[in-house]
Amino acid sequence: MTAMRFVDEVTLEVVAGDGGDGSAAMRREKYRPLGGPAGGDGGRGGSVFFEADERLTTLMDLEYRRVIRAESGEHGRGRDQYGKGGDDQVVRVPIGTQIYDAASGELVADLERPGQRECLAKGGRGGRGNIHFATPQERAPSRAESGRPGGRRMLRLELKLLADVGIVGFPNVGKSTFITAVSKARPKVADYPFTTLRPNLGVVSRGEFRSFVLADIPGIIEGAADGAGLGHRFLKHIERTRVLLFLVSMDPDPEREPLGDLLTLERELERFDQALAARPRVVALSKLDLPEVREALPGLRDELASRGIELRACSAATTEGIAEVLDALEAELAKHPLAPTPRRVPLPTAADRPHGPPEAD
Ligand SMILES: Nc1nc2c(ncn2[C@@H]2O[C@H](COP(=O)(O)OP(=O)(O)OP(=O)(O)O)[C@@H](O)[C@H]2O)c(=O)[nH]1
Ligand SMILES: [Mg+2]
């Protein structure tokens, strides 16, 4: 099976349609040589919209699209005929897509609700035909307006998956196995590092009305901030989570042990984003069913307790301790009901937005 590629950043240009020109045609009727103006208006150019679609999970479909254009309006014609408006283009993107103006870096749209639709390039207005310019003094104006050009700009799209809880851990500690045990997500699980190459989301249902979204991301290792392993670019997918689940375990590598791993993870997170490093967290020792893990638990627990960290333990294989970890996550979520806002650029207010809603016809 070929793995579906995960594309989370795309740059493209959007070009709205131009407005059609107004017509300067005169009425020509058999017995009325100067029948007056009869030029209709040009049609409005189509706009380019982006819409959040919950069925999509990557920006892959847009990867090779350099330009997205909407149709131009038709020109107005004689006999009072108005030009037809250009069709809009609606580009579907996954929920969690943030759209930046590529030139200024400004965040111009944040698609976080299913079905949310934003206009990113507005179609040009159609020019008025000469039928609008007749006055008692000038009964046969040959004047008509040109259509206005449609908006265009370069955009950078960035997908940040929206999850409540993000799992952070070294490769192979069992992050994907954990999400498999608690949700319907079925990421690949294997006994080698970097099995997970793209983030996975799972919905954890706890009773009829309680659920939260968990994100499993690729493993983080020492130096991730400098690009080691898969680097830390996937951390942006947990930037807007409310709570982190740190998973540590005993690793065959003698250089590594849970406390050292925890400190390394913390350091790498801090280098990526202070706010993420300060996020509330639950720390759990995974693979509790393994004898060496169970043996190490009491000592580790004391060691972490002396640093003010409460250590939980679980096994995704036997489900022992899993419910307690989920309870702890839920308790933290309840304490932090609001999602953090993106750190780079503040959300634009309506007045900041260069393009308002599309004009009514
Ligand atoms: N005994 C035991 N093995 C586990 C448990 N959880 C995971 N494993 C094993 O540990 C290995 C790694 O599991 P994954 O879930 O792929 O680990 P990961 O953290 O997602 O790894 P990366 O995606 O590479 O970062 C697999 O061989 C799993 O079968 C557990 O609770 N008990
Ligand atoms: Mg994995």
Q: Are 301 and 195 members of one domain?
A: yes
Does one domain contain both 13 and 111? yes
Of ligand 1's atoms, which has the minimum distance to the CA of residue 177?
15
Domain stop point among 138, 159, 180: 159
Q: Could you tell me if 74 and 218 lie in one domain?
A: no
Residue 304 lies in a domain: yes
Residues 201 and 65 grouped into a single domain? no
Q: Is the CB of 200 under 6 A from ligand 1?
A: no
The tokens of 328 are what? 């702890």
The verdict on the CB of residue 89 being under 6 Å from ligand 1 is no
The answer on 62 and 202 residing in a single domain is no
Asked, for residue 193, whether it belongs to a domain, the answer is yes
Identify whether 343 is part of a domain. Answer: no
Model confidence pLDDT, tens digit, residues 165-181: 999 999 999 999 999 99
Give the DSSP H or E segment for 282: strand 281-285
249 lines ligand 1 (CB under 6 A): no
Do 200 and 277 sit in the same domain of this protein? yes
Gap from CA of 80 to ligand 1 centroid (Å): 72
Q: What is the pLDDT of residue 137?
A: 85
Query: What distance in angstroms lies between residue 41's CA and the mean position of ligand 2's atoms?
Result: 59
Residue 278 domain-assigned (yes or no): yes
Q: Is the CB of 219 under 6 A from ligand 1?
A: yes
Q: Which residues pair with 12 in a beta bridge?
A: 155
Whether ligand 1 lies within 6 angstroms of the CB of 72 is answered as: no
Q: How far is the CA of 169 from the centre of ligand 1 (A)?
A: 11
Candidate of 6, 170, 177, 245 to mutate for ligand 1, largest count of ligand atoms within 8 Å of Cβ = 177
Ligand 1: does its nearest atom lie under 6 Å from the Cβ of 198? no
> Is any atom of ligand 1 closer than 6 Å to the C-beta of 185?
no
167 lines ligand 1 (CB under 6 A): no
Assess whether the C-beta atom of 291 lies below 6 angstroms from ligand 1.
no
**5 and 19 part of one domain:** yes
Cα–Cα distance list, 115 to 107, 186, 265, 267 (Å): 19, 26, 36, 38
pLDDT of residue 343: 45
Owning domain of residue 239? 165-335
Question: Residue with the nearest Cα to atom 30 of ligand 1?
Answer: 287
Say yes or no: 151 and 296 in one domain: no
Q: Whose CA is nearest to atom 23 of ligand 1?
A: 196
Q: Residue 215: which H helix or E strand, with range?
A: strand 211-216
* Same domain for 178 and 86: no
* pLDDT per residue of the chain (361 residues) written in tens, 0 to 9: 233 456 788 999 999 999 999 999 988 776 666 678 999 999 999 999 999 987 787 888 898 889 999 999 999 999 999 999 999 999 999 888 999 999 999 999 999 888 999 999 999 999 999 999 988 888 888 889 999 999 999 999 998 877 899 999 999 999 999 999 998 888 888 888 888 887 888 888 887 678 888 988 888 888 887 877 777 778 887 888 899 999 999 988 888 899 999 999 999 999 888 888 899 999 999 999 999 999 999 999 999 999 999 999 999 999 999 999 999 999 999 998 776 655 443 333 333 334 434 434 4
CB of 229 shorter than 6 A to ligand 1: no
> How does pLDDT run across 84-117, given as a tens digit for each residue?
999 999 999 988 899 999 999 999 999 988 899 9
Please tell me the predicted confidence (pLDDT) of residue 4. Answer: 43
CATH number at residue 255: 3.40.50.300
Query: Looking at ligand 1, which residue's alpha carbon is closest to its atom 7?
Result: 174
Q: In this structure, what CATH number is given to the domain that contains residue 80?
A: 2.70.210.12
Ligand 1 center to 290 CA (angstroms): 12
List Cα–Cα distances, 337 to 164, 178, 242, 308, 333, in angstroms: 10, 23, 8, 24, 6
Q: What's the Cα-to-Cα distance from 157 to each of 27, 86, 107, 283, rounded to whole Å?
A: 50, 25, 10, 33
Strand arrangement of the beta sheet that strand 211-216 belongs to: 200-205, 211-216, 165-169, 243-248, 281-285, 311-313
The pTM (predicted TM-score) of the whole model is 0.66
Is residue 233 a contact partner of residue 268, using CB atoms and an 8 Å limit? no
Domain co-membership, 154 together with 175: no
For residues 190 and 289, membership in a common domain is answered with yes
Instruction: Tell me, yes or no, whether 360 lies in a domain.
Output: no
Same domain, 213 and 327: yes
Domain count across the chain:
2
